């Protein structure tokens, strides 16, 4: 069955129209997976993984965060107003309510990189209303470097204005991440061992090689990181929430495993008994686009199936002839109030990972 990536716009809590994406070509859906993408990218980069989840019984929904993708548009890439970190978490909660009401199914959240930090904040506010969370390419960022980044962003925003590109912070982060892989002579090699991943990232006009996030965005981001590591915030995470933390041990965001291990340890110390953790040897930041992505996909699917109490059965492979293709943009929709849904326990059949689309 052909999978189609649908696009629509959702009016968020403050009236902002958020560009959203939907993969719902599933005959007997088990549940919903909501994806929160990383900084300096957009949702269509998750088409391949979403198609895989569709083939295994899960509807997938995602949004281009504020300052990203079609939510901001080409001319305003990286530019946001106000508390973009907090507002984006509210957008995600709004999208959760919309999806649960529309499909009457339970929902699991998956956040990657910047999306994983948003997700850390999300589960403090709305963790009781989701079935579980996967944190990919994440870290525990209650560290001195975060405070330094905040100070630099605030000073530069005061001097040059919130809308100016945060080029210095970009060099301190994305630029520094590439240094361990300098011998490969490939920009953004820190993303994946597969050189095609960085090449496609660089060629994508909605990815961070083509623009820098604004100073206003960075101020909000660093302030947001400070808020999610307060004792009250951490203790607001439901103790029974299933959590999977996955990362590559050569991911510079997680300090080659150190800061992401610290996140796992902090969650266990908090009493989050259902927290699981896996580090992939030699893997870099984008584990969904890594050379061992088949292993990563399967591990994440196994966790999702366990969360939804899906009984394991002998795998039967299903071939997807074509990856998802975009449908026409739909009307702007309003999110209804969230409803509670009982988790059911259907059976899962794991499908093989679809073939990659050719680079455009």
Residue 351 lies inside a defined structural domain of this protein? no
**C-alpha torsion sign, points 165, 168, 169, 170:** positive
Residue 107 lies inside a defined structural domain of this protein? yes
Tokens linked to 200 = 């496609």
- Per the CB < 8 A criterion, the answer to whether 10 and 85 are in contact is no
Distance CA 85, CA 153 (A): 14
| Domain ranges, residue 122 | 4-139+238-334
Q: Where are the beta strands (DSSP E) in the chain?
A: 4-11, 17-23, 31-36, 58-63, 107-112, 132-136, 243-248, 275-280, 325-334
Distance CA 159, CA 144 (A): 23
What is the model's pLDDT at position 334?
A: 54
Residue 208 lies inside a defined structural domain of this protein? no
Residue 287 lies inside a defined structural domain of this protein? yes
Condensed to tens digits (0 to 9), the pLDDT of residues 43-54 reads 999 999 999 999
Residue 52 lies inside a defined structural domain of this protein? yes
pLDDT-above-70 percentage for the chain: 86
Running DSSP on this structure, what letter comes out for residue 311? B
Query: Across the chain, what does the average pLDDT equal?
Result: 89
- Per the CB < 8 A criterion, the answer to whether 205 and 76 are in contact is no
What is the model's pLDDT at position 347?
A: 39
Q: Is the pLDDT of residue 31 over 50?
A: yes
Mean pLDDT, rounded, for 105-132: 99
**CB contact burial 254-280 (16+ within 10 A = b; e otherwise):** bebbebbbbbbeebeeeebeebebebb
Whole-model pTM: value is: 0.88
What is the model's pLDDT at position 90?
A: 98
Residue 204 lies inside a defined structural domain of this protein? no
Q: Is the pLDDT of residue 273 over 60?
A: yes
Residue 294 lies inside a defined structural domain of this protein? yes
Residue 46 lies inside a defined structural domain of this protein? yes
Q: Is the pLDDT of residue 317 over 80?
A: no
Total structural domains within the chain: 1
- Looking at residue 274, which CATH number applies to its domain? 3.40.50.1820
């Amino acid at each position: 069955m052909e999978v189609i990536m649908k696009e629509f716009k959702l009016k968020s809590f403050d009236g902002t129209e958020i560009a959203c994406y939907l993969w719902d070509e599933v005959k007997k859906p088990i549940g919903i997976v909501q994806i929160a993408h990383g900084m300096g990218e957009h949702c269509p980069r998750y088409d391949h993984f979403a198609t895989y989840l569709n083939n295994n019984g899960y509807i997938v929904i995602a949004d281009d965060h504020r300052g990203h993708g079609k939510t901001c548009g080409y001319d305003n890439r990286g530019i946001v107003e106000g508390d973009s970190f907090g507002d984006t978490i509210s957008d995600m909660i709004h999208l959760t309510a919309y999806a649960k009401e529309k499909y009457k199914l339970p929902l699991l959240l998956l956040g990657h990189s910047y999306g994983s930090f948003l997700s850390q904040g999300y589960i403090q506010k709305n963790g009781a209303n989701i079935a579980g969370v996967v944190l990919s390419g994440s870290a525990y960022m209650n560290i001195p470097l975060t405070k330094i980044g905040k100070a630099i962003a605030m000073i530069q925003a005061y001097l040059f204005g919130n809308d100016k590109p945060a080029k210095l912070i970009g060099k301190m982060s994305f630029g520094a991440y590439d240094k361990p892989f300098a011998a490969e002579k490939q920009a953004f090699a820190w993303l994946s061992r597969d050189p095609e991943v960085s090449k496609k990232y660089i060629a994508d006009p909605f990815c961070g090689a083509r623009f820098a996030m604004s100073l206003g965005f960075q101020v909000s981001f660093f302030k947001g990181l400070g808020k999610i590591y307060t004792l009250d915030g951490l203790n607001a995470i439901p103790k029974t929430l299933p959590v999977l933390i996955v990362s590559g041990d050569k991911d510079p965001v997680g300090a080659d495993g150190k800061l992401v291990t610290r996140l796992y340890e902090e969650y266990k110390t908090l009493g989050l008994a259902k927290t699981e953790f896996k580090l992939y040897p030699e893997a870099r930041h984008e584990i969904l686009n890594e050379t061992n992505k088949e292993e990563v996909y399967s591990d994440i699917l196994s966790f999702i199936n366990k969360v939804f109490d899906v009984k394991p059965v002998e795998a039967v492979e299903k071939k997807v002839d074509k990856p998802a293709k975009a449908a026409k943009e739909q009307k702007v929709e309003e999110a209804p109030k969230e409803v509670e849904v009982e988790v059911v326990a259907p059976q899962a059949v794991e499908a093989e990972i679809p073939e990659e689309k050719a680079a455009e």
